[in-house]
Structure 1
Amino acid sequence: MILKRLTLLVAIGSILLMSCSENDPLPDPGPNLNATIVVEDAEINAAFTDTDNVVLIALQANRLGFSTEGNFFGDLCDDAKVTHFPENKRIIVDFGEGCTSANGITRKGRLFINYTGMIFFPTASVTVNFQEYFVNGVKIEGTRVTTNKGIDLNYMTMSFEIKMDNGKLTWPDGSQSSVTISHNRKFFLQDQDMRAEVTGSSSIKSRIGVDVNSEIYYPLVFVQTCTNSGNWIPSEGISVISLSQSFVFQVDYGQGICDREIQVRLEGETITLTLD
C-alpha cells in the first residue's frame, strides 16, 4: 500500500529530463529531485488512506461504521489493540512498539479516534490524532477531521468532507513534509461492490523544500473488490500535480480496471507506468 518500490522513480525522472530545455520557465533541477517529489506525494496519500482504513475498521468493529457484521481486523496485525471508551466517545488503536499487518504495512504508536456519533448519520464527525504514530517508518502528526455531509437519496450516495490543516510527516532520514488536505469522499450505497469517489486538493511543502499542489481533476475511484486484493491504487480518475505553480504534469489512473498501470503526461509526452 505504501508505494515504496515505485518504478515511477526512474521513469518520471527520465520523462522530465527529456521534456526540459533551455527555454523552460522553471529551471530543471534534475530528475532525482522531481522523482522524489512524485514518490513523496504518492507516499503521503497512501499513508493517510491507510489511516482512514484503520479508523473505519475501528468504527465498524464497535458498531459505529457502515456495517456491524464481518471481519474488520483483516488488515491489522494480531498485536494491535482496539479499545473503546463509549462514555467518552473515543477509540484508541494501539500498535505498541510496532507490528506488521497481513498486507505488509508496519505501524507503530497510537491513534486517538474521537467521534460525535455513528458515522453514517449526517453531521457526525470523526477526529483523529496521532501519538508517536509511524507507518512504514514515517512519523505522522496533526489532526484529521472527517464529517458526514449527508445522503443524496436520489443517487443513494453518502458524502464526507476530510480536512487536515496541520499535517506533518517525518521521514526516516529526519527530513519533514507539511501538508494541508481538503478532500471529499462519496460512497455509492447501492453498488454491490462498494465504490468510493474522492475529489479535492492538497498542498505540500515537500521534504526538499519545494511547494507542491495536487488537484484531483476527475474523481479518483476505489472499488472494494480491488482494495480487498491489496491494491490501493485508484481504478480510475485523473490528478494534476504542479510544482512551484510552474511545472505541471497529469496522472491518469485509467477507466475502471483493477490494475497498477497509470499514464503520466508531461508537455506532450506520455508514458505508461506500472506501480509495484
Structure 2
Amino acid sequence: MKKYSILAVLSLIIFGLASCGSDDEPTNTDPDFTVVNDDIAVNAVFEDMDNYTIQVLQSSGIAFRTQSTFTNSICEGVMVEFDSESQRIEIDFGTGCTSSTGVVRKGKVILEYSGNFLIPGSKVTTILDGYEVNGLKVEGTRTLTNTGIDLINSEVTLAVKVDGGKVTWPDGTSVSYSSDQVRSLKLDDQGYELSITGTASGVSRSGVSYTAATTSALEIKQDCVDSGVFLPSSGVIDFVIGGIPASVDYGTGACDKVLTVTYAGGVKEITVE
C-alpha cells in the first residue's frame, strides 16, 4: 500500500478465485482488487496497536528508556495502569477515545510481560478485551519475544506471533488472521523504525483463504504511522490466494498510499483511500 494495510503485519490482499470450466472457457486470473481494503484495515489495526504499545513500554521503564509522561498522541483521557508486581499493564480506552489523528479506540488492551524487555527471552503478551478501532472489533492474542538486542544502536529483534486473530466489521463480516514474524525495532531521537519479515495466513471477508510471505523486508516508520499512514513504506509480499499468485510492492520509502500489484494478468497500481 505503499501505504498499506498488515500487518502485520501482516498481510492479506484478497483475490478472486480462478474460474473453472471447459477448455474453451477463459480462466480468470485477475485479482479482485476491491478486497484490498480488507487487508489494509487488518494491518492498520495491528500497526496502530504497535505504535502506542511502544510508547507504553517506554513509559513503564521496561523498554529502552523511560518516558516520564505520556503525550496525548494515544488519545486524551486514556487510562494506563502499571502493575509491576504482577507484571501487567492495562490500557483502558473506555467507551470511546479519539486520538489527535482521528483514530477512535474503545475497550482494553492488556500487556502481560515476563521481565525487562531489554533481556533476550523476555516476552510481552497482548490480550484484547472488548477492543475496537474505528468500529472494527479486534480479537486474538499477540506475543512479542525478545530474541536479541543491540544496546549500542538501541535495536531489538522480536519474534511476533498472532494467534486467533480476527477483525469484525459492523455488518458482521470478518477476516481471520494468524502470523509468524521477525521484527527488527530500532529507536532513536526521531522515533522508531520497524523492519518486518515473516509469513501470514487467513480467510477474507468473502471466505477466500490465503497465504502470504515477505520476499523483501517491510519497512515501517513512526512518522508515517503518526501521520495516519499505516502501510509499509517499502517491501514486497508474495501472496497465494485461492490458488492465484500475486506480488505486492509497497515502493521505495515514501510515506504514501500507493502500492503495485503484479499478477498473471499484468501490473496494477492501487491508491488506498
TM-score (norm 2): 0.83
Question: Runs of 5+ in structure 2 lacking a partner?
Answer: 6-13, 19-23
| Matching residue's letter, 1:269 | G
1:208 aligned residue: 206
1:45 aligned residue: 43
- Contact persistence 2:234–2:250 (CA under 8 A): yes
- Contact persistence 1:234–1:253 (CA under 8 A): yes
Mapped pair 1:265 → 2:262: yes
Name the CA distance, whole Å, in 1 between partners of 2:147 and 2:60: 22
Give the fraction of aligned pairs with identical amino acids, expressed as a percent: 36
2:96 aligned residue: 98
What SS does structure 2 have at the residue aligned with 1:121? coil
What SS does structure 1 have at the residue aligned with 2:64? coil
2:77 aligned residue: 79
1:23 aligned residue: 26
Name the CA distance, whole Å, in 1 between partners of 2:4 and 2:233: 16
Deviation at 1:187, TM superposition (A): 2.4
What SS does structure 1 have at the residue aligned with 2:85? helix
Name the CA distance, whole Å, in 1 between partners of 2:241 and 2:251: 23
Note the alpha carbon deviations across 1:136-159, whole angstroms, 9 max, x for none: 111111111000001258987421
Aligned residues: 258
| Matching residue's letter, 2:246 | F
Note the alpha carbon deviations across 1:116-153, whole angstroms, 9 max, x for none: 11222211100011111111111111111000001258
1:117-266 equivalence runs, <5 A: 117-151=115-149, 157-188=155-186, 194-244=192-242, 246-266=243-263
2:112 aligned residue: 114
Q: 1:185 to 1:84 in 2, by over 3 A?
A: same
Deviation at 1:256, TM superposition (A): 2.1
Q: 1:243 to 1:143 in 2, by over 3 A?
A: same
- Contact persistence 1:239–1:252 (CA under 8 A): yes
Name the CA distance, whole Å, in 1 between partners of 2:244 and 2:87: 45
TM-score (norm 1): 0.82
Name the CA distance, whole Å, in 1 between partners of 2:65 and 2:260: 35
Deviation at 1:210, TM superposition (A): 0.9
Question: Runs of 5+ in structure 1 lacking a partner?
Answer: 4-11
What SS does structure 2 have at the residue aligned with 1:37? helix
Deviation at 1:195, TM superposition (A): 2.6
Q: Aligned-pair RMSD on alpha carbons?
A: 3.0
Deviation at 1:272, TM superposition (A): 2.5
Note the alpha carbon deviations across 1:72-125, whole angstroms, 9 max, x for none: 434311121111111110010111111211111111100111011122221110
Q: 1:209 to 1:157 in 2, by over 3 A?
A: same
| Matching residue's letter, 1:204 | G
- Contact persistence 2:4–2:250 (CA under 8 A): no
Name the CA distance, whole Å, in 2 between partners of 1:177 and 1:196: 24
| Matching residue's letter, 1:84 | F
Q: 1:192 to 1:53 in 2, by over 3 A?
A: closer
Q: 1:59 to 1:153 in 2, by over 3 A?
A: closer
Q: 1:120 to 1:268 in 2, by over 3 A?
A: farther
Note the alpha carbon deviations across 1:51-92, whole angstroms, 9 max, x for none: 222222221122222232376434311121111111110010
Name the CA distance, whole Å, in 2 between partners of 1:192 and 1:75: 15
1:7 aligned residue: none
Name the CA distance, whole Å, in 1 between partners of 2:215 and 2:267: 17
| Matching residue's letter, 1:44 | V
| Matching residue's letter, 1:118 | N
